[in-house]
Amino acid sequence: DTPCPWGTSWEGPLMFSKRRGLGLSASKIDRAIRVLVCAFALGLMWLSIKPAVAWFYIEKANKSPIESRLYFLTKAMAWDENPKTYALMGWTYLEQAEKNPAARILLLRMGLGQALIAYEAEPLNRNYRKLLGALLWRLGRIDDAQRILEHTQ
């Protein structure tokens, strides 16, 4: 050990902890730091898995025909609920309502539920306002649709 001008060794805090009687050696502290770093990295990986799987299902939904799009968006929702997925589901219900006149009202109402969730999460998002306005318009609530859409421009 080469002494420092202030009278301790170059090991710094490790030597200080030995003198204080904590009984921590350099190998124990190094191991504890490695364990903490690994635990932190695993935590970050776990947090990033859910959005990554949801993104995979959203991409699959975008490439699939409209009939199976809701299936993949529902799978994405199970992994990571976010307003974008709700809005995508709303747009899909709207598109299906245009192609299926027999279930038009039911599909529009289901889309309205998804659009409201997205809109409430991010009320300043123009795309969510457009979706909500389009659904309200098609459901015959023209005054409400105009009120929503006038803030979009």
Per-residue pLDDT in tens (0 to 9) along the chain, 153 residues: 555 555 555 555 555 555 454 555 667 778 888 888 888 888 888 888 888 888 888 888 888 888 888 888 889 888 888 899 999 999 999 999 988 888 889 999 999 999 999 999 988 889 999 999 999 999 988 888 888 888 666
Q: The whole model's pTM is what?
A: 0.67
Please say whether the beta carbons of 83 and 49 come within 8 A. Answer: no
Instruction: List helix spans (H) across 1-153.
Output: 13-20, 26-63, 66-79, 83-99, 104-121, 126-138, 142-149
